[in-house]
């Protein structure tokens, strides 16, 4: 997968040299191209922002450097088209589902902004020709989109074939489509079996795979009820067996609806 990132702080992306993503780059699975937005300015001060029309606080990023920068990145491979991802707190939520969608794209172009954001005509211009997504990584405001891009590149990168070691399945992850959709992963343990008087739950040492799977599902349901009760409302009743429903009822989340699995 090719990833282009245009930013006034390309040095923000040094973490992409490290760990899983760094290795994926070394192995050619991920081809990251960083660009300095100011390279597409033409004044001595390399200005990228200006005051907002209509007044108000803060500055808005000028359309001209962004337009020239994006045009040049697009020209790198005229036969292909990247999906453009614009990080902004006003965007659609970044979810595991969107990460999987991005992981299936051959080319992504991220345009992290500083200040109050990019002049909206830039998104309108490219949105008329390409897929442009305005995406938020959460309900809080960062100082700029760079960290949001790091988050998204890591979430997408680990999904690319060959990136995760020993063929670990991502199917058990929290939010993974299928059995874990709308569920959080429960607690995990490793050796030693006893630490500071605390024992690992006995079931995990039993070797009984069926019971362990059931226990893990119970813990996932408990943790979701505790930390993200709103996710339980989004559970597909069809995906819940009798045991799930009994546990959810105990936890104070009775499942309503027909056509439930038995």
Q: Mask 57-76, x = binds ligand ADE (CB under 6 A)?
A: --------------------
Return the number of the residue (93 or 106) whose C-beta is nearest ligand ADE. 93
Per the omega criterion (within 30 degrees of 0), is the bond before 192 cis? yes
Q: How far, in Å, CA of 196 to CA of 199, rounded? A: 8
- CB-nearer residue toward ligand ADE: 61 or 148: 148
Min CB(60)–ligand ADE separation in Å? 14
Q: Is 6 annotated as a binding residue?
A: no
Number of neighbouring beta carbons within 10 Å of residue 209: 8
Q: Any binding-site annotation on 165?
A: no
CB 119 within 8 A of CB 60: yes
Q: Which residues pair with 32 in a beta bridge?
A: 3
Among 141, 171, 205, 213, binds ligand ADE (CB under 6 A): 141
Q: How far is the CB of 229 from ligand ADE (least distance, A)?
A: 23
Instruction: Tell which one of 1, 4, 66, 88 touches ligand ADE (CB under 6 A).
Output: 88
CB atoms within 10 A of CB 86: 24
Q: Is 137 annotated as a binding residue?
A: yes
Which one of 108, 137, 155, 221 is in contact with ligand ADE (CB under 6 A)?
A: 137
Strands 107-110 and 83-93: parallel
From the list 173, 181, 185, 219, the catalytic residue is: 173
* Near ligand ADE by CB under 6 A: residue from 89, 127, 186, 237: 89
Label residue 108 exposed, middle or buried (CB < 10 Å: 0-12, 13-18, 19+): buried
User: Using an 8 Å Cβ cutoff, are 70 and 126 in contact?
Assistant: yes
| Tokens 């211009």 found at | 125
Which structure tokens are listed for 114?
């500083």
Question: Is 186 exposed, middle or buried (CB count within 10 Å of its CB: 0-12, 13-18, 19+)?
Answer: middle
Interacting stretch for ligand ADE, rule CB under 6 A, among 1-9, 14-22, 142-150, 184-192? 142-150
Q: Which of 82, 145, 159, 248 binds ligand ADE (CB under 6 A)?
A: 145
Confirm or reject binding of residue 93 to ligand ADE (CB under 6 A): no
Distance (Å, rounded) from C-alpha 129 to C-alpha 138?
A: 27
* Stretch binding ligand ADE (CB under 6 A), from 50-58, 124-132, 141-149, 214-222: 141-149
138 is annotated as contributing to ligand binding: yes
Which residues in this chain contact ligand ADE in the complex, by CB under 6 A? 87-89, 136-138, 140-142, 145, 148
């Amino acid at each position: 997968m090719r990833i282009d990132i245009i930013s006034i702080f390309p040095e923000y992306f040094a973490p992409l040299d490290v760990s899983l993503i760094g290795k994926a780059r070394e192995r050619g699975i991920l081809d990251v191209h960083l660009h300095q937005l100011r390279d597409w300015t033409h004044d001595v001060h390399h200005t990228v922002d200006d005051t907002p029309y209509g007044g108000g606080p803060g500055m808005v990023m000028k359309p001209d450097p962004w337009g020239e920068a994006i045009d040049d990145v697009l020209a790198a491979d005229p036969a292909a088209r990247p999906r453009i991802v614009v990080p902004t707190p006003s965007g659609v939520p970044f979810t595991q589902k969107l990460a999987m969608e991005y992981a299936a794209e051959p080319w992504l172009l991220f345009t992290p902004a500083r200040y109050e954001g990019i002049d909206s005509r830039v998104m309108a211009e490219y949105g008329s020709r390409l897929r442009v997504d305005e995406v938020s990584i959460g309900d809080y405001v960062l100082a700029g989109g760079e960290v949001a891009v790091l988050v998204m590149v890591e979430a997408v990168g680990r999904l690319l074939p060959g990136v995760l070691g020993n063929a670990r399945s991502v199917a058990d992850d929290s939010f993974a489509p299928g059995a874990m959709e709308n569920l959080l992963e429960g607690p995990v343990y490793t050796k030693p079996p006893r630490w500071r008087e605390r024992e690992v739950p006995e079931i995990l040492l039993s070797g009984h795979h069926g019971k362990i799977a059931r226990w893990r599902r119970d813990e996932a349901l408990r943790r979701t009820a505790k930390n993200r009760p709103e996710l339980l409302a989004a559970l597909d009743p069809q995906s819940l067996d009798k045991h799930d429903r009994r546990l959810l009822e105990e936890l104070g989340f009775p499942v309503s609806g027909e056509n439930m699995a038995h």
